Structure 1
């Protein structure tokens, strides 16, 4: 089926986004938009906005963003084509006609779905019948209640080569073979694939059975047997329990990835429903993408043995090229020799939650792995560490995330081999360093804060953001909180953020064009005259990593200076009112802190000058 851009645009135009989202999320009018608590993460203060005119939703808390189709895929967990079909039906639009091949494929899939549904029912009947005694005993030994077994549709395949084949004979052997329920050996009659096993249905995002996993009841190999790949089932693109975990993950704001079916089932029985598992293979790119559609940072909770930790590291390496701003992985290491099922049995849900409360970030997992790879006693070994870390970071496709990893790995590697200098403490009293205590807010301090940020530095930062729009998203929250004394500058800040919010693929030329249409042509053009601003990020041709680091530093100084100035004004007023050693020490410390900020700003300017003198500069 071919879905043209024109059809999708018409579908979006006919869909009231606020009405669609309002079915499951409480929204209230907020100017020209609708506002509510974000359904993608837990929050008490509404930061989720829906704009019907522009046809998108956006959360300022977790950065969830999309249109009606994205809502159906991310919030409802539907595959893309199913989301389009449901929206089209609601909007009164006819889906584009299928070509003959697609129609035949759809009809074939319908028959396969019916086969799998009837097979699941038959297996459940066997579990609850006389032949299911041993399978029920296994469930009892594993602590799985009858209610949980019903919830997951568990069943039993008798130890027979033809019982299922006979039960589903109306479908015919060819369709049963295609569904993976029979094994076809050339020259022989097809026979049942699953025999003498506890049966666990594998379902798609819509809850339809598409495959099975079978666990041996006693001893034997393989311990687990999965359906083969079929037209319905691609084990590299499927996650076990996705249909139940997706809505639970949206409510909990997290999704756990464990190793196997029983881990998922045990966690669910303990009240943790947002767990999924790959199907006998390492996590694939397709499975990672599916996880990221549910949450930004899935938690990998693999077994504590060597094999489990190796699998976790393999997933970490596979995820690296696909990282994006805000999108990562985190890890929980289980006690040695335990899996989530063991942990739940021994310590209950509280033991699991205690581990989940402190997940390890992806960068930490990668760092610890490389540091432990070999000794770091010689310069060559330390250089090898830096080379390995650099190779890992350079495998990341997103330039912004790559830059952050390169900087973080460089910082960690330098700290590993360089003694850390103690931070400067201006005065010591006994064994405890002096710390400035809180002072009443004076009129002088209020006046300093009211004056707002440094306009010259603010203009430079704004020029850098216009020159490099990809950096805006990283500082969205900070930029929105800045208090600007200059009204025109403040309005331009807001306009830049608004435009970047609507178009995440914005480049500098397009941003300037849009700003010009909004009446900011003069001030935007003035800001882009790099020769008046001595910073790397105001130049058109500049090293990306250097731009990012310098812009981060400039924004940090921009935010810190007004606060330091205000605190210094407070300290000065306090000392003038009543001279004490403590007031004097506080004033001296704040003066030094202000001088340190000025030095940081001077270093930014000097870095720009050094770069200008060492090579050609683009404007």
Structure 2
């Protein structure tokens, strides 16, 4: 956190303009014409006065880039050229592998394949194939489509023999013998680079131009490429719209490219595998609605059912899933070219909901007019509904099953709620929300001044009296002092990231957003004045407690007071 400048980070995603001591822009979290989004260099904190969005560098990546907390930490570490230790690290392997050379080689290979498509003397076959599929030069450039020429050692000649092991590790070359001789994995193929959510090339997919098999070939699993966790086209879809209303899941690279050619820029593809739970969480991190698109043949129907099974455990509140089946013999690539964008999007809008597809599929070959048929449907549906997390969607499915089977709803509820499915989910510590108006008591104002100006802590070193105040604000203020006396270099953003209590962090982040009307030159005087006011109040409460509990034994306490304490006590009696 301390090595990350939030201004530089956010400026990479949202162009900022200097506005006095801060930077501003139109808010990336809601539509507006006048900039109300402010980023503070000194506080390392952002805040939108329009929608209330606020947070630190970690919170911004989680909200804007839809990253999980660990992913945001790894991203910031990578930007600072630091390595986050892996959970899998052991005593024998205490350091994480440096993957930067691998990423660099993959990006260089991507550029090499693009150069070959433009310049290789035998690239005509690849260019003609793309033209025949209706792919324009601009779309080919957008997706960085390239060409792997025929030959066994093009990459080794390009990258050099000293990179042979790295080519093997990247899945670009195949080891031939014990002497690390290798040959190119991809030959005579149209090349599609696969990028992760950060835009880094992590692997490739290749479509053969001749009669070789397989027709489509993907990179193998490597240190950076895991096909069960990545989606082709997601990075490009998010560049077109960082917060898409929906994402369309198709089966092939060319489907994604062809749809983009017709300005449907929210399609992604799995990488030669069925949708996995990791795919589903990745999709729902970026959109509330996922539409699966499958061929209408037996293979497509089977794939759709597998996708539904993977989707059920992820159907938390607010998420939607739908299923689109294309006419026999058609795929998105061929159909979009036949009927165009409007007609294809009409198909998307009328795709079956998850509930419709679920009951339609389960009801096949079942006669619901009979008791046996309704019992079979209940038996088939119950274990599937049981996989869905607790919420309104699950309750409504149970109601629908009750209506279709006439089985008592209480019975269905017992059978579908006895074990709740749970999944790991990382919440943004600074969710986008309207900032509530907080009444600024002296305690809250002192906390506000300190959280926004951590250097003030050095002007008050003895704050033990706060421990005698029995309220949450005093405990927070004391904890702030203790933190800043131990680590005086911390800025506002770092304090919030380190704060252990989520509820308290939310209150602190709201106070960090409020405007301070006091001129900078008067901050120290006002802060110390507030502390004196609070300490005086604390002493008065202490004296009042002593007065209300006067006993013969308390005389000793009175005699132990110094002149100033006795004077304060007498003032209390007078009041």
Q: Same fold (TM over 0.5)?
A: yes
Match of 2:132 among 124, 141, 144: 141
Which residue is equivalent to 2:58? 69
**Post-superposition shift, 1:23?**
4.4
Q: Distance in 2 between matches of 1:278 and 1:326?
A: 23
1:168 paired with 2:164, answer no
Once the two structures are superposed, the pairs formed by residues 445-456 of structure 1 within 5 Å of their partners are: none
**Post-superposition shift, 1:160?**
1.3
Match of 1:380 among 365, 372, 379: 372
Instruction: Report the 3-state secondary structure (helix = DSSP H, G, I; strand = E; otherwise coil) of the residue aligned with 1:264.
Output: helix
1:111 paired with 2:101, answer yes
Match of 1:262 among 243, 254, 266: 254
Which residue is equivalent to 1:194? 186
Match of 1:177 among 168, 174, 194: 168
Match of 1:125 among 115, 130, 133: 115
1:246 paired with 2:238, answer yes
CA contact (8 A) 1:249 1:294 kept: no
CA contact (8 A) 1:126 1:155 kept: yes
Q: 1:94 to 1:141 in 2, by over 3 A?
A: closer
**Post-superposition shift, 1:306?**
2.4
Structure 1 unmatched runs, 5+: 1-6, 27-33, 416-515, 518-619
**Post-superposition shift, 1:67?**
7.3
Once the two structures are superposed, the pairs formed by residues 223-238 of structure 1 within 5 Å of their partners are: 223-238=215-230
Which structure features the higher share of helix residues? Answer: 1
1:364 paired with 2:356, answer yes
**Post-superposition shift, 1:88?**
7.9
CA contact (8 A) 1:75 1:247 kept: no
TM-score under structure 1 length normalisation:
0.55
Instruction: Report the 3-state secondary structure (helix = DSSP H, G, I; strand = E; otherwise coil) of the residue aligned with 2:341.
Output: helix
1:410 paired with 2:394, answer no
Instruction: Report the 3-state secondary structure (helix = DSSP H, G, I; strand = E; otherwise coil) of the residue aligned with 1:396.
Output: coil
**Post-superposition shift, 1:414?**
3.8
1:350 paired with 2:320, answer no
Instruction: Report the 3-state secondary structure (helix = DSSP H, G, I; strand = E; otherwise coil) of the residue aligned with 1:243.
Output: helix
**Deviations 1:230-263, CA, capped at 9 Å, x for gaps:** 1110111111012111243435422111111000
Q: RCO greater where, 1 or 2, for CA within 8 Å and sep 6 or more?
A: 2
Q: 1:406 to 1:56 in 2, by over 3 A?
A: farther
Once the two structures are superposed, the pairs formed by residues 555-594 of structure 1 within 5 Å of their partners are: none
CA contact (8 A) 1:343 1:351 kept: no
CA RMSD after TM alignment: 4.4
Q: 1:368 to 1:200 in 2, by over 3 A?
A: same
Q: 1:172 to 1:95 in 2, by over 3 A?
A: closer
**Deviations 1:331-389, CA, capped at 9 Å, x for gaps:** 22222221111121111111221112223221111111111243335321221011211
1:317 paired with 2:309, answer yes
**Post-superposition shift, 1:37?**
8.1
1:297 paired with 2:286, answer no
TM-score under structure 2 length normalisation:
0.59
Instruction: Report the 3-state secondary structure (helix = DSSP H, G, I; strand = E; otherwise coil) of the residue aligned with 2:206.
Output: strand
Once the two structures are superposed, the pairs formed by residues 448-597 of structure 1 within 5 Å of their partners are: none
Instruction: Report the 3-state secondary structure (helix = DSSP H, G, I; strand = E; otherwise coil) of the residue aligned with 1:293.
Output: helix
Q: Distance in 2 between matches of 1:166 and 1:65?
A: 51
Q: 1:88 to 1:171 in 2, by over 3 A?
A: closer
Q: 1:72 to 1:228 in 2, by over 3 A?
A: same
Q: Distance in 1 between matches of 2:261 and 2:335?
A: 13
Higher mean C-alpha deviation, range 161-170 or range 182-191: 182-191
Q: 1:388 to 1:132 in 2, by over 3 A?
A: same
